[in-house]
Amino acid sequence: MNTDSLSPVWAPRVLSVLSVLRIFTGLDLLQHGTGKVLGFPVVPMFANVQINSLAGVGGLIELIGGILFTIGLFTRPVAFILSGFTAAAYFMAHAGRGFYPVLNGGELAALFSFVFLYFAFAGAGPWSVDALLRRK
* CA end-to-end distance (rounded Å), the chain: 20
Residue 3: predicted pLDDT: 56
Is the separation of the CB atoms in 123 and 19 below 8 Å? no
Which pLDDT tens digit goes with each residue over 33-62?
A: 999 999 999 999 999 999 999 999 999 999
Q: How far apart are CA 36 and CA 32, in angstroms?
A: 6
Which pLDDT tens digit goes with each residue over 60-116?
A: 999 999 999 999 999 999 999 999 999 999 999 999 999 999 999 999 999 999 999
- Given a cut of 80, is residue 12 above it in pLDDT? no
- Given a cut of 90, is residue 14 above it in pLDDT? no
* Cα four-point dihedral sign 38, 20, 77, 134: negative
Residue 15: predicted pLDDT: 74
Residue 28: predicted pLDDT: 97
Mean pLDDT of 121-129: 95
Q: How far apart are CA 74 and CA 81, in angstroms?
A: 11
- Given a cut of 80, is residue 132 above it in pLDDT? yes
Domain boundaries, given as residue ranges, for the chain: 11-124
